[in-house]
Amino acid sequence: MKKILTLLFIAVILATIGCQEDNPNEIYYPFKNEIWQRFNILSFELSVEKADKPYKIVLFARHNRDFPFKALDFNMVMNTPSGEERINEYHLKVKNRAGEFLGSCENEICKATIVLKKEIYITKSGLLLIELENLTPRLETPGLLGVGVRIEKR
């Protein structure tokens, strides 16, 4: 009887986790040798299931303590499933004026985040396409482990 109750409990937990509607849709690109090449444009295809709902879109970057810049500059081009295009330039602050890392750090790995769109209404279901272009004025941006984009239902 104990075994059946344990299996039933595990099944309920797994069903609850699998049915959660607020799980973020996320894509992460790790960088070879912890370097984002200047002309390596990253493409993200995120699924939007429900139209006319507000979404929050977040970029996160994982970097080590060798990251030399105070900010990660990048350009974003977003194409919604309905064909709308939005273009913005962003500056993800990584260090404060004193040169200390912002965001959360654990040992040698830090994570910085920036909200790309706080509340965007997408009028049609389908794929949300996001392209990121590194705008750092160097051929290589060292110290970056990877960059990801997450879409969350509001």
Q: What is the pLDDT of residue 2?
A: 52
Domains defined along the chain, listed by start: 25-153 (2.60.120)
List average pLDDT for each run of 10 residues in the chain, which is 154 residues long.
45 41 76 95 92 89 95 96 95 94 92 95 91 94 96 86
Q: What is the pLDDT of residue 49?
A: 84
* Sheet of strand 126-134, all strands in order from the earlier edge strand to the far edge: 42-48, 126-134, 71-79, 85-93
Distance, CA of 153 to CA of 24 (rounded, Å):
7
Distance, CA of 106 to CA of 88 (rounded, Å):
30
Q: What is the pLDDT of residue 6?
A: 40
What pTM value is reported for the model? 0.79
